[in-house]
Structure 1
Amino acid sequence: MSNPMKNFTLSRNAFGQLCLKTEAGQFYEQVLPVRAFPISLPGECIAIVDRDGQELVWLDDLNQVSADNLIIIKEELANREFMPVLMKISEVSSFATPSTWTVETSRGATQFVLKGEEDIRRISKDTYLISDNHGVQYLIENIQLLDKHSRRLLDRFL
């Protein structure tokens, strides 16, 4: 059941685990913020769940929390979510899968192996998510903003 409670305090215990204290004084260890829509609404629809996945707090918008809680939530999400933005496709080893892709991302240049075309998922009209053979996901925020060469290479797999 969703709890719209906004008066809570987040902290870290001696082991660095995220903890939640409610307005009523209840204390939960090993809580996690979870985005319902990490790509389309990254600052909205966030749940704070306990270690069993039970929802403790629902946030319609991150602006609903105190500045201290906001810092902790953003740090925790950044530590857990690794999704480089793909900015350029320099080369693909083959147009048949599996193929090795050489790309430029928001985190620098890298290579990854695309196992199959099904690992390229359309999220919206111009947004795509590519999963490599290790489960790392690369986000293409807007396919229209890729250079012509990158779009041509990507089109061969769509």
Structure 2
Amino acid sequence: MPAPDYRLQRNPFGRLELTTADGETHVGVVPVRAFPISAPDDGIGLVDPHGHELAWIERLSELPDDLRTLVENELAGREFIPEIKRLISVSSFATPSTWEVETDRRTTRFVLKGEEDIRRLDAPALLIADSHGIHFLIRDRYALDAHSRRLLDRFL
């Protein structure tokens, strides 16, 4: 795998710095996934604080280990999309309703304002936004247990 034509490092203040091949340094660089759900390790842009793309990473796995770890750590610090593993209960089949769910992080409750807050992604994935704007992912709705599927089907 060829080495990238830029240098990426964390400065003393903890911010990412990208130095391009021509020697220009950009502070406050942020990695952004092009397809965070369907292809999280493919297509990552390194953008400046104004949203201008400075570099492109085709595949995360092609980066040298130290650079890949740096990008992965930065992405993990910015992204928060808990994955729903099981629906425990819903307060009502009318919205708004309070959902109690088990995620990959912990059991939690959130309020679903309306059915329009359940977005269908590439089948069979769903993205659910709660009343505070936090997104929850159901990677495969058909892989949920029967109880969870029955509850979810009432909202789809």
- TM-score for the superposition, normalised by structure 2: 0.95
* Secondary structure of residue in 1 paired with 2:75: helix
Matched residue, 1:110? 108
Matched residue, 2:16? 18
Partner Cα distance (1:6, 1:41) in 2? 21
Question: Quick one: which of 26, 29, 32 aligns to 2:30?
Answer: 32
Matched residue, 1:147? 145
Matched residue, 1:70? 68
Deviation of 1:60 after TM superposition, in Å, equals 1.5
Deviations 1:35-92 (A, max 9, x none): 0100000000110001111100011111232211101100010000001110000000
Q: Is the 8 A contact 1:6 1:57 kept in 2?
A: no
Aligned-partner residue type, residue 120 of structure 2: R
Written as runs of structure 1 = structure 2, the 5 A alignment for 1:71-90 is 71-90=69-88
Partner Cα distance (1:58, 1:64) in 2? 12
Partner Cα distance (2:91, 2:61) in 1? 45
Q: Is the 8 A contact 1:34 1:47 kept in 2?
A: yes
* Secondary structure of residue in 2 paired with 1:139: strand
Deviation of 1:144 after TM superposition, in Å, equals 1.1
Identity fraction in percent: 52
Matched residue, 2:118? 120
* Secondary structure of residue in 1 paired with 2:99: strand
- TM-score for the superposition, normalised by structure 1: 0.94
User: RMSD value over aligned CA atoms?
Assistant: 1.2
Deviation of 1:16 after TM superposition, in Å, equals 1.1
Which consecutive segments of 4 or more residues in structure 1 shift more than 4 A? none
Partner Cα distance (1:122, 1:133) in 2? 18
Matched residue, 1:132? 130
The runs of 5 or more residues in structure 1 that have no matched partner are: none
Q: Is the 8 A contact 1:92 1:99 kept in 2?
A: yes
Partner Cα distance (1:103, 1:63) in 2? 33
Aligned-partner residue type, residue 125 of structure 1: A
Partner Cα distance (1:151, 1:66) in 2? 42
Count of aligned pairs: 154
The runs of 5 or more residues in structure 2 that have no matched partner are: none
Matched residue, 2:53? 55
